[in-house]
A and B are shown apart, each in its own frame.
Chain A
Amino acid sequence: MHDGKRARGMKGTARNLLIHLAVIAAAFVCVYPLLRMFSVSLRPGDKLFSADLSLIPAGASFRAYSDLLRDTMFLRWLWNSLVITTATSFMGVSLASTAAYAFSRFRFPGRRSGMLLLLASQMIPAGMLILPLFLMIMKMGLMNTYLGMIIAYSVSSLPFSIWILKGYYDTIPRSLEEAALVDGTSRVGAFWRVVLPLSTPALSIAFLFNFTAAWNEYLVARVVLFSAKQYTWTLGLFELQGQYITQWGMFAAGSMLVTLPVLAVFLYSSKWLISGLTLGGIKG
């Protein structure tokens, strides 16, 4: 029996080891490009194409960063992206939270087919939607504006957010809202004071999805925005790609800088994401 225990222990250790190896390998695959990019962003101008693999290259400097910030409209692009992305995320989540509530709690004709339609819309490749989006935004006179971008982005991530939130609302017992109604809230009050606070995990997932999708978007921006002043960072960075010369150092530096806001949002919302896992036990 003692031997059996030891064998089981060994087996456990071996399994742990394997799992760790796999996780480390996966982490390496994720982090390696980032490290390379960081390395490139530090290289002096004449070493850009060297095959040197060291993380901090010889003669490393932040020159590319300062050039980027000084010589281009990078900060402006970053600001444009930030405004569009933040507004998109808030608008997307608030629209989705109420729409999902209706899908979760009310019975109305078209409820099932509506949900299916939303799902189906996710199957259409983004490229196919470019032309209709372009036409719509042009008809609305919103070309080259923040608002045009915000509408295009928040609408396109709405179906996913609605699905996520509807699924979460379905797990919240109705009796909680009924208790709130009896306690004196209106239907809207019950949603606002009980359902929404309990849904923070799902809301933060939806927010994060909206944020990263809008932050990294290129295609729609390419079509809607045409003056460099209105560019988002994705368009702006491609400006650095000239016909004869590409500023790879600045490109890498810019790429490093744009990961920071996403990282910040992710770290901030991660506490809600984790609390989502432990919230459970809403019922007894």
Chain B
Amino acid sequence: MASVSFKDITKSFKDTPVLKGVSLDIEDHEFMVIVGPSGCGKTTLLRMLAGLEEVSSGEITIGGARVDGLPPSRREIAMVFQDYALYPHMTVEENMSFSLRLRKFPPAEIASRVAEAAGILQLGDLLKRMPRQLSGGQRQRVAIGRAIVRKPKVFLFDEPLSNLDAKLREEMRVEISKLYRRLNATILYVTHDQVEAMTLATRIAVMDRGVIQQVGAPMEVYRRPRNMFVAGFIGSPAMNLLPGRLSVSGGGVVFGNGSMELALPRGLLPEQEARDGREVVLGVRPENVAVESPAGDGLSDELKGELEARELLGHRENLYVKAGGTRLLAAMDRFFDRAPGSAVGLRLNYRDMHVFDKAGGLRLSA
């Protein structure tokens, strides 16, 4: 296993910049997930590490050795592709042993490595099958098996679960998580699904428009998003982002947007950031919007709203509430038996409230 480092990576396709100076360090044995919307450059970054895409400028090292410029075969990486990329004319066994046969490993060693990987992934019965005879989930496991037998320095996963149905995706997520604990490998995993990122990663790198927006442990990124993009992207359902203006009078800071006024508690904003008239965006996660809740410590004054729509998900319910001109999403962990159109009272939880600068999008709150 080895560490990976990207230094000031840029990449342009013709005149379109795709990566604008990306630097990222992945430590040895770390499971790093790069997450971002499609077109953010995450797959390009992964393919550069694999050697399938050239770097316009910058440096990539694996285990301290510079690899950009080396062909893929000499980078000691293994990759799981989005469409699995199993060789259709080879059996499962031949698919898995292909790289070892290329490297002229002794047959006994090849057999034992394939058997070991097949054991881990429960592929023992499928070794003689052709890829077209396998289900999506089985193909996925073969693709992972093909990577495991290599014992590479770094594993690369390119949206490996996006072709699976929801149930299988959950199962494979758990499988990959178990596999990581077992192999204790360095993994770079690319996805657009923030649930995968949150559940699998030791650290997440959130990317948008060719720039890394934030790197950190999943809970750190969730609790303290560095900017408005990360706040909106990480977390499901997405965070409520309410644009408005601060007014400072005396010692108190009030957030207002025409349809509601909230007195922000001391300590939420550093004093130098709380300027009168400053345009800000208030971020509140749906689970931090309390519905029909009595006044309590850390809760805002009650906002009057009207229930617009509700989504019952079984284990919880999403409520879409309109308070004045502001729409808010509240996630409840119990069944809220109220018809759309009825009046509801909302209180926002100050403890997990975020304030962002509207112009730059950067986080202002502590």
Contact = CB atoms under 8 A, between A and B. Distances in A.
B81 A175 contact: yes
B139 A182 contact: no
Nearest to B103: A184
A23 interface: no
Interface string A181-205: 1111110010000100110000000
B50 A176 contact: no
Given A173-B85, A175-B85, A179-B79, 7 more contacts: A175-B83, A178-B52, A178-B79, A178-B81, A182-B51, A281-B88, A282-B88
Interface string B51-88: 11000000000000000000111000111011111111
B229 interface: no
A225 B81 CA distance: 55
A31 interface: no
B99 interface: yes
Interface in A262-284: 279, 281-284
Contact of A197 (B84, B89, B163): B89
Contacts of B163: 284
30 contacts: A173-B83, A175-B81, A175-B82, A175-B85, A178-B72, A178-B85, A179-B81, A179-B85, A179-B86, A180-B87, A180-B98, A181-B72, A182-B50, A182-B51, A182-B73, A183-B98, A183-B99, A183-B102, A183-B146, A183-B150, A184-B102, A184-B103, A186-B71, A194-B87, A279-B88, A281-B88, A281-B132, A282-B88, A283-B83, A284-B84
Contacts of A184: 73, 99, 102-103
Interface string B83-125: 1111111000000001100110000000000000000000000
Nearest to A187: B71
A72 B214 CA distance: 86
B136 interface: yes
The 7 A-B residue pairs with the shortest CB-CB distance, nearest first, are A183-B99, A179-B85, A175-B85, A184-B73, A184-B102, A181-B72, A175-B81
Nearest to A173: B83
Interface of B: 50-52, 71-73, 77-79, 81-89, 98-99, 102-103, 132, 136, 139, 146, 150, 163
A182 B102 contact: no
A184 B103 CA distance: 7
Interface of A: 173, 175-176, 178-186, 189, 194, 197-198, 279, 281-284
Most buried by B among A176, A182, A189, A197: A182
Nearest to B79: A182
Nearest to B47: A178
Given A281-B132, A284-B136, A284-B163, A182 B77 contact: yes
Contacts of A175: 81-83, 85
Contacts of A185: 73, 102
A258 to B, nearest CB: 35
B89 A198 contact: yes
Contacts of A178: 50, 52, 72, 79, 81, 85
Contacts of B84: 284
A273 B283 CA distance: 62
A168 to B, nearest CB: 13
Contacts of B81: 175, 178-179
Contacts of A198: 88-89
Contact of B78 (A182, A186, A282): A182
A284 B139 contact: yes
Contacts of A183: 73, 98-99, 102, 146, 150
Nearest to A196: B89
Contacts of B71: 181, 186
Contacts of B88: 176, 198, 279, 281-282
Nearest to A278: B132
B365 to A, nearest CB: 44
Given A175-B81, A176-B87, A198-B88, A182 B52 contact: yes
Contacts of B102: 183-185, 189
Contacts of B72: 178, 181-182
A284 B98 CA distance: 20
Contacts of A186: 71, 73
Contacts of A180: 87, 98
B73 A181 contact: yes
B128 to A, nearest CB: 18
Contacts of B82: 175
